[in-house]
C-alpha cells in the first residue's frame, strides 16, 4: 500500500503547489482507466493540480506518438509542461513508452536551456521547473516488462482468451474435431498461463524452444490423450515461437503437421485484437487503482536525486523499482534468446514467469512412473464449493502421481472419510477438471470431531500417509480438530496441508483463497450491469448485498472495482451517524452530472442495520433526490467457471502442496512407518505478500477469531481508506506502510553461465 502520510505531514496538503500530468501511451490495456482515475483522485486529494495528456483504450486516449521520438517533439512537450507548471509526470504504458519518458527526463535540463535560448520561456519559468519527476505504471497485455509479476491489462486479456478456449472446448466435446488454439501475443506470458489455465497439451513460447524431435513427441502426446478418451487437444502458440534452429513455429504449421501425421481433423484459431478489448477484470481494476495511488505518492516524495521509477507488483505487494533497471533486464531477455541462452531468458523474465513455466513442465511434459511407491496421499474438499477447487485437485493428483504416490479421492469431505467414500483417482480422471466450477469430489461443511474414531480407522484401513485438504474455514477448523485428536488417535499422525478455497477469503494464513477472484468478478460484472440498467433514467442508488460471512473482503474489493460510494462490513464498525453521512454524500453527488450511486453491504456486517433497513433509510432520506433499488446476489457468487487467476493460482497451490508433502513424508519416515506429530507437519499453504508460504496450524490458531470465522489481521483493510478517497470522501488518512525503492539488476543471472532450472 502507498504511504499516504509520512512524518506527520497532512496528506491533504502534500501536493499543494505541485502539478501532476498523467498520460497513457502505446497500446491500450484494460485497467488503464482505473489507474488514471486513482491517479487523478488521489492527486486532487493531496492538494495537487492534475492534468490529462490526451492521446498520449483509455478515456483520455492512448497512442504511440511519433513526434515524441524526435528531440523536436520532446522540446514541444517540455514547453507545454513548463507553461502549465507541471514537474511531475505519470506515464502508463509499455517498456517503449517508459523508456521514452526516461529519455525525456534525462534531457530535461538541456530542453529547458533550448527553450530559454529560443525565447520560448523565461529564466523564472525554467527555475520553477528545474527538474522533472517521472513515475511509470506498466499497462500492457503482454506482461513482458521485467520487475513486475503482473502488468495492468494482463488479467483482462487472459479472461478474453479463456472465454474463447472454453467456447472451443464445449464445441469439441460435442464432436470429434481437434483444435489448435493460437494465442496472438508478442511475448509468452499469456500463452503460458493460458496453457496452465485450460490444461493445454502443449505450449510453444519463444523463450524455450522445444527439443529436437518435438514433432514426434507432440504427435505421441495427442495420440495418447485421444486413446484415453479425450475429444479435445489444445495447443497454445505464442507469436514468435521458434524451434532450436530459430525457425518459426506457427499455428498453420502445427495444423498441417497433425493433419498429415495423425489424420486428425484440426482447426486453428488466431485470437488477435480480441485480447485487448472488453471490460477490465476485477483484478485489473484493483491493480490499476493500487498502482495509481502508489504512483502519486512516489511522485510527491521524489527529489531531484530520485531516479525515475516504475510502480510494480511483487506477489501481493506494491514496490518501486528503478525504471531503467527494469528496461535493461527486459532487453537482456531478448539478448539471451538471440544468443541461445534460453535458461537465462526464463530466469530473467522473473520469478512468476519461471514458476509458471516449471509448473507447466511438470504437469504437461512428465508422465507418472511405471513403478509406484507405497505412499498413499488422499485428497478431500471441505466446506462450501467454489470455483477453482477442481483445478487444485487436478494439479495435486497429477503431481502426486508424478512423484510416484498412489492418489486417493475422498468424496464428501470429512464425512466421506468417515463413511469410506474413498477410491483411487487417476491421471485421466482429472484431465478436464481445470475449467470446471464447483467440486467434482463433492464437499460438505461437516467437521471431523464427531467422526474421529471412524476417520482414524479408515486412515489405517486405507493406509493413508498424507492428506491434502482443500476448502474454506471448515477445512482450517477441521484440520485443527484432526491435529488435536493426534494425542488419542495415533493414526492421525500424518502430514496434512490445507489449501484455502472459499469465496469468503477468510482462511487464516493466506492473502487470497481459491474461488474469491471468481466471486469478485461475478459481483463486479453484476454491479456493472445493475448500474447500466439505470442509464438514461432518473437518479438512482443501488443497495447490493454480498456474501462472505463476517469477512468483508468481497464487499470491499467489489467496492474498489465497481466504484462504490460505500461498503459496509463487520470489521469496520459503523452507526447511524455514518449512514447519515453516506446519504448526505450521495445527495450532494446527485447534484452533479452523476446520476447513479452504489452501496455494498456484507451479509453479516451488522445484525440491526440489515439490507432492508439500509434500503428503507436511503429511500426515505433520498426522497425527491434519488430513488433506491436493492439486490441480494446470493449463491450466484459461488457458481460459474473459474477465472484465469483462480485456475492458475489453484494449479500452483495444488502442485506446491504435494511437493511439500513429499518432502515432509521423507522427514517423518521412522522405523519403517510414517509418524508426524510436530507442529510443522500440519500447515496452511497460502499467499503472503510476495509468495507462497507454509504456516503451521498451531501458529495460525492464535491469529484467528473463531467466533466470527475470520483472521484477526487482514491486509485488505488498509485499502478501505483509499476506496473512500476514490469515492470523493473528505477523510483523514494515515497509513504506516511505505513502499521503498528496490533494485532488480541484482537479480540478473551472470551472462557467462548457463543456469539450470
Q: Which three cell numbers stand for residue 754?
A: 548457463
Please give, one letter per residue, the 3-state secondary structure of 596-642.
Answer: EEEEEEECCCCCCCCHHHHHHHHHHHCCCCCEEEEEECHHHHCCCCC
pLDDT tops 80 at residue 242: yes
Cell triple for residue 69? 521520438
Pairwise pLDDT comparison (739 vs 615), residue with the higher score? 615
pLDDT recorded at residue 751: 37
517508459: which residue's cell?
98
33 and 288 Cβ atoms separated by less than 8 Å: yes
pLDDT tens string 99-126: 888 889 999 999 999 999 999 999 999 9
Do both 615 and 647 map to the same domain?
no
> Per the domain annotation, does 730 fall within a domain?
no
Cell of 447: 467437521
pLDDT of residue 742: 84
Same domain, 493 and 600: no
Q: Are 393 and 430 within 8 A, CB to CB?
A: yes
* Spatial CA neighbour of 432 closest among 381, 398, 466: 398
State mean pLDDT over 674-688: 95
Please tell me whether residues 112 and 45 are part of one structural domain: yes
Which residue's entry shows cell 527494469? Answer: 326
Angle at 608 between CA 504 and CA 638, to 5 degrees: 20
pLDDT at 441 over 60: yes
Q: What residues make up the domain containing 112?
A: 19-151+280-333
Question: Across residues 651-666, what is the average pLDDT?
Answer: 96
The alpha-helical segments, DSSP class H, found in 630-703 are 644-667, 697-701
| Number of alpha carbons in the 13 Å side-chain half-sphere of residue 405 | 27
Please count the residues of the chain: 757
Please give the pLDDT value at position 382: 98
Mean pLDDT of 228-239: 84
pLDDT (tens digit, 9 = 90+) per residue, 22-54? 998 877 789 999 999 999 999 999 999 999 988
- What is the rounded CA–CA span in Å between residue 618 and residue 559? 18
Residue pair 90/81 in contact by the 8 Å Cβ criterion: no
- Mention every residue, 6+ apart, whose C-beta is less than 8 A from residue 606: 568, 570, 574
Q: In this structure, is residue 582 part of a structural domain?
A: yes
**Residue 337's closest CA among 271, 243, 403?**
243
Domain boundary among 275, 293, 323: 275
Round to whole Å and give the CA distance between 181 and 179. Answer: 6
State which H helix or E strand residue 531 sits in. Answer: helix 516-532
* 479-482, Cβ contacts within 8 angstroms, sequence gap of 24 or more: 479/682, 479/697, 480/697, 480/701, 481/447, 481/448, 481/449, 481/452, 482/448, 482/452, 482/455, 482/682
On whether residue 340 sits in a domain, the answer given is no
- The DSSP output letter for 559 is H
Residues 158, 147 share a domain = no
Cβ-Cβ contacts under 8 Å for 392 (sequence gap 6 or more): 470, 499, 501, 514, 650, 651, 653, 654, 657
| Highest mean pLDDT pick, 134-148, 313-327, 453-467, 590-604 | 453-467
User: Higher confidence at residue 204 or residue 749?
Assistant: 204
Check 10, 28, 95, 142 and give the catalytic one: 142
- What cell does 75 get? 522540446
Residue 507 lies in a domain: yes
pLDDT band at 64 (very low <50, low <70, confident <90, very high): low
DSSP state for residue 534 in the 8-state scheme: T
Per-residue pLDDT for 60 more than 50? no
CA 327 to CA 517: how far, in whole Å? 30
Q: Average pLDDT for residues 493-516, to the nearest whole number? A: 98
The answer to whether 131 and 307 have CB atoms below 8 angstroms apart is: no
Instruction: Judge whether residue 488 has pLDDT over 90.
Output: yes
Domain identity same for 82 and 225:
no
**CATH code of the domain covering residue 547:** 3.40.50.460
CB atoms closer than 10 angstroms to residue 267: 14
Higher pLDDT, 743 or 162: 162
Strands 669-670 and 443-444: unpaired
User: How sure is the predictor about 1, in pLDDT bands with cuts at 50, 70 and 90?
Assistant: very low
Q: Which three cell numbers stand for residue 336?
A: 539471451
Report residue 492 as a C-alpha cell: 492421525
* pLDDT greater than 50 at residue 59: no
Q: What is the pLDDT of residue 6?
A: 43
Tell me if 722 is assigned to some domain. Answer: no
Q: How far is CA 354 from the centre of its chain?
A: 16
Gyration radius from the chain CA atoms:
27
- Are 87 and 105 within one domain? yes
Per-residue pLDDT for 368 more than 60? yes
229 burial via Cβ count (<10 Å: 0-12, 13-18, 19+) = exposed
Separation between Cα atoms, residue 458 and residue 552, nearest integer Å: 38
Using the predicted structure, report yes or no on whether residue 263 has a pLDDT greater than 90.
no
Any domain includes 364 = no
Q: Which pLDDT score is estimated for 172?
A: 72
Average pLDDT over residues 230-259: 89
User: Within its chain, how far is the Cα of 66 from the centroid?
Assistant: 34
The rounded distance, in Å, linking the Cα atoms of 462 and 422 is 8
Q: Is the pLDDT of residue 174 over 80?
A: no
Does 529 lie in the same domain as 510? Answer: no
pLDDT at 292: 95
Question: What is residue 2's predicted lDDT score, i.e. its pLDDT?
Answer: 42
What pLDDT is attached to residue 421? 98
Cα distance between residue 454 and residue 416, in whole Å: 10
pLDDT > 90 in the chain, percent: 70
Q: Which residues pair with 468 in a beta bridge?
A: 379, 497
Residue 125 lies in a domain: yes
Structure confidence at residue 731 (pLDDT): 82
Q: What is the pLDDT of residue 29?
A: 85
SS3 500: strand
Among the residue ranges 26-35, 376-385, 537-546, 730-739, the one predicted with the least confidence is: 730-739
What is the per-residue pLDDT for 746?
56
Residue 29, domain member (yes or no)? yes
Q: What is the Cα–Cα distance from 631 to 615, expressed in whole angstroms? A: 10
Q: At what angle do helices 452-461 and 473-484 cross, to 10 degrees?
A: 80
The reply to whether 507 and 522 lie within a common domain is: no
Residue 344 backbone zone (phi > 0: left; psi -120 to 50: alpha; other: beta): alpha
- Measured in whole angstroms, the distance separating CA 134 from the mean position of its chain's CA atoms is 26
Res 175: pLDDT: 66
Backbone φ and ψ for 106, nearest 5 degrees, come out as: -65, -35
Distance in angstroms (rounded) separating the CA atoms of residues 61 and 576: 43
Q: Between the ranges 226-235, 530-539, 723-732, where is the mean pLDDT highest?
A: 723-732
Within 8 A by CB and 6+ apart from 730, the residues are 12
3-state secondary structure of 595: coil
Q: Do 267 and 290 lie in a common domain?
A: no
Q: Give how many domains the chain has, as a whole number.
A: 4
How confident is the model at residue 180, as a pLDDT?
Answer: 58
* Residue 338 CB contacts under 8 Å (≥ 6 apart), including other chains: none
Dist CA 59 CA 32 (whole Å): 9
State yes or no: is 344 an active-site residue.
no
How confident is the model at residue 734, as a pLDDT? 60
Tell me the C-alpha distance between 699 and 683, whole Å: 9
How far is the C-alpha of 180 from the C-alpha of 262, rounded, in Å? 14
| Alpha helix segments (H runs only) across 173-262 | 189-198, 214-227, 251-262
Res 62 pLDDT > 60: no
d(CA 499, CA 518): 17
pLDDT confidence band for 735 (50 / 70 / 90): very low
CB 352 within 8 A of CB 146: no
Q: The CATH number of the domain where 49 resides is what?
A: 3.40.50.450
Does residue 545 sit in the same domain as residue 461? no
pLDDT at 753 over 90: no
Pair (146, 284) in one structural domain: yes
Among candidate residues 703, 733, 751, the one where a domain is terminated: 703
Which residues 6+ apart lie within 8 Å of 194 measured at CB?
158, 161, 162, 165, 181, 183, 200, 203, 236, 644
Q: Is 643 left (phi over 0), alpha (psi -120 to 50) or beta?
A: beta
Mean pLDDT computed over every residue of the chain: 89
- Tens-digit pLDDT profile for residues 328-365: 998 999 999 999 999 999 999 988 899 999 999 888 76
Q: Output the pLDDT for position 3.
A: 40
Higher local confidence (pLDDT), 524 or 276: 524
**DSSP state letters, 16-37:** TT-EEEEEEESS--TTHHHHHH
Could you give the CA distance from residue 604 to residue 279 in angstroms, rounded to a whole number? 30
Same domain, 225 and 309: no
Can you tell me the mean pLDDT for 12-17? 84
Q: What is the DSSP string of 110-141?
A: HHHHHHHHTTSS-HHHHHHT---EEEEEEB-T
State the DSSP H helix or E strand holding residue 346, giving kind and residue range, or none if neither.
Answer: helix 342-348
Q: What is the pLDDT of residue 181?
A: 60
What does the pLDDT read at residue 329? 92
DSSP string, 180-193: EEEE--SSSHHHHH
Strand partners, 388: none
687's enclosing H/E stretch is strand 682-688
Cα separations (Å) of 556 from 551, 615, 629? Answer: 10, 19, 20
Amino acid at each position: 500500500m502507498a504511504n499516504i502520510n509520512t512524518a506527520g505531514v497532512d496528506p491533504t496538503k502534500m501536493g499543494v503547489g505541485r502539478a501532476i500530468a498523467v498520460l497513457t501511451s502505446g497500446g491500450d490495456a484494460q485497467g488503464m482507466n482505473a489507474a488514471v482515475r486513482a491517479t487523478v483522485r488521489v492527486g486532487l486529494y493531496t492538494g495537487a493540480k492534475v492534468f490529462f495528456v490526451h492521446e498520449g483504450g483509455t478515456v483520455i486516449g492512448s497512442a504511440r506518438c511519433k513526434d515524441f521520438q524526435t528531440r523536436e517533439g520532446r522540446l514541444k512537450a517540455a514547453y507545454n509542461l513548463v507553461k502549465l507548471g507541471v514537474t511531475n509526470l505519470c506515464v502508463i504504458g509499455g517498456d517503449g513508452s517508459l523508456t521514452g519518458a526516461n529519455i525525456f527526463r534525462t534531457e530535461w535540463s538541456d530542453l529547458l536551456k533550448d527553450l530559454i535560448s529560443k525565447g520560448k520561456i523565461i529564466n523564472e519559468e525554467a527555475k520553477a521547473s528545474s527538474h522533472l519527476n517521472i513515475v511509470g505504471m506498466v499497462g500492457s497485455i503482454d506482461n513482458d516488462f521485467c520487475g513486475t509479476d503482473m502488468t495492468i491489462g494482463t488479467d483482462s486479456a487472459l479472461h478474453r482468451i479463456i472465454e474463447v478456449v472454453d467456447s472451443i472446448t464445449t464445441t469439441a466435446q460435442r464432436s470429434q474435431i481437434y483444435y489448435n488454439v493460437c494465442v496472438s501475443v508478442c511475448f509468452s506470458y499469456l500463452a503460458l498461463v493460458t496453457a496452465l489455465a485450460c490444461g493445454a497439451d502443449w505450449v510453444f513460447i519463444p523463450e524455450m524452444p522445444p527439443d529436437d524431435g518435438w514433432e514426434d513427441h507432440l504427435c505421441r502426446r495427442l495420440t495418447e490423450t485421444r486413446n484415453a478418451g479425450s475429444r479435445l487437444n489444445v495447443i497454445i502458440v505464442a507469436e514468435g515461437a521458434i524451434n532450436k534452429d530459430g525457425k518459426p513455429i506457427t499455428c498453420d504449421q502445427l495444423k498441417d503437421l497433425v493433419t498429415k501425421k495423425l489424420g486428425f481433423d484440426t482447426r486453428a484459431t488466431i485470437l488477435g485484437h480480441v485480447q485487448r478489448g472488453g471490460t477490465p477484470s476485477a483484478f485489473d481494476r484493483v491493480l490499476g487503482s493500487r498502482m495509481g495511488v502508489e504512483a502519486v505518492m512516489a511522485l510527491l516524495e521524489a527529489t531531484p536525486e530520485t531516479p525515475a521509477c516504475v510502480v510494480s507488483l511483487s506477489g501481493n505487494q506494491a514496490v518501486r523499482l528503478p525504471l531503467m533497471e527494469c528496461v535493461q533486464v527486459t532487453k537482456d531477455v531478448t539478448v539471451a534468446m538471440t544468443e541461445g541462452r534460453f535458461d537465462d531468458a526464463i530466469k530473467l523474465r522473473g520469478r512468476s514467469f519461471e514458476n509458471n513455466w516449471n509448473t507447466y513442465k511438470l504437469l504437461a511434459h512428465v508422465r507418472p512412473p511405471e513403478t509406484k511407491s507405497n505412499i498413499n496421499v488422499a485428497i478431500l474438499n471441505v466446506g462450501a464449493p467454489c470455483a477453482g477447487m477442481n483445478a487444485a485437485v487436478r494439479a495435486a493428483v497429477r503431481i502426486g502421481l508424478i512423484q510416484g504416490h498412489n492418489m486417493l479421492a475422498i468424496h464428501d469431505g470429512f464425512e466421506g472419510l468417515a463413511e469410506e467414500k474413498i477410491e483411487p483417482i487417476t491421471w485421466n480422471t482429472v484431465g478436464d477438471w481445470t475449467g470446471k466450477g464447483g467440486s467434482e469430489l463433492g464437499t460438505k461443511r461437516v467437521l471431523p470431531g464427531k467422526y474421529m474414531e471412524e476417520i482414524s480407522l479408515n486412515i489405517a484401513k486405507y493406509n493413508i500417509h498424507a492428506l491434502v485438504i482443500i476448502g474454506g474455514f471448515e477445512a482450517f477448523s477441521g484440520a485443527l480438530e484432526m491435529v488435536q485428536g493426534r494425542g488419542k488417535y495415533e493414526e492421525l499422525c500424518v502430514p496434512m496441508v490445507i489449501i484455502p478455497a472459499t469465496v469468503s477469503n477468510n482462511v487464516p494464513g493466506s492473502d487470497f483463497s481459491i474461488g474469491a477472484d471468481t466471486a469478485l468478478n461475478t459481483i463486479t460484472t453484476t454491479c456493472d450491469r445493475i448500474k447500466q440498467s439505470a442509464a438514461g433514467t432518473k437518479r438512482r442508488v443501488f443497495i447490493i448485498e454480498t456474501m462472505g460471512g463476517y469477512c468483508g473482503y468481497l464487499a470491499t474489493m467489489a467496492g474498489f472495482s465497481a466504484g462504490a460510494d460505500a461498503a459496509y462490513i463487520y470489521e469496520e464498525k459503523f452507526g447511524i451517524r455514518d449512514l447519515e453521512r453516506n446519504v448526505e454524500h450521495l445527495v450532494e453527488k446527485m447534484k452533479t452530472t452523476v446520476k447513479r450511486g452504489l452501496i455494498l453491504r456484507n451479509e453479516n456486517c451488522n445484525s440491526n442495520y440489515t439490507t432492508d433497513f439500509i434500503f428503507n433509510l436511503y429511500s426515505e432520506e433520498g426522497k425527491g433526490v434519488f430513488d433506491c433499488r436493492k439486490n441480494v446476489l446470493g449463491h450466484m457468487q459461488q457458481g460459474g467457471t473459474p477465472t484465469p487467476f483462480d485456475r492458475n493460482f489453484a494449479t500452483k497451490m495444488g502442485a506446491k502442496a504435494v511437493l511439500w508433502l513429499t518432502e515432509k513424508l521423507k522427514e517423518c519416515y521412522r522405523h519403517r512407518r510414517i509418524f508426524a506429530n510436530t507442529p510443522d507437519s500440519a500447515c496452511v499453504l497460502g499467499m503472503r505478500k510476495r509468495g507462497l508460504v507454509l504456516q503451521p496450524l498451531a501458529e495460525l490458531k492464535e491469529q484467528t477469531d473463531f467466533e466470527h470465522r475470520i483472521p484477526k489481521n487482514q491486509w485488505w483493510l488498509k485499502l478501505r481508506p483509499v476506496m473512500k478517497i476514490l469515492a470523493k470522501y473528505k477523510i483523514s488518512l494515515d497509513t504506516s506502510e511505505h513502499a521503498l525503492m528496490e533494485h532488480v539488476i541484482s537479480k540478473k543471472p551472470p551472462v557467462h553461465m548457463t543456469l539450470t532450472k
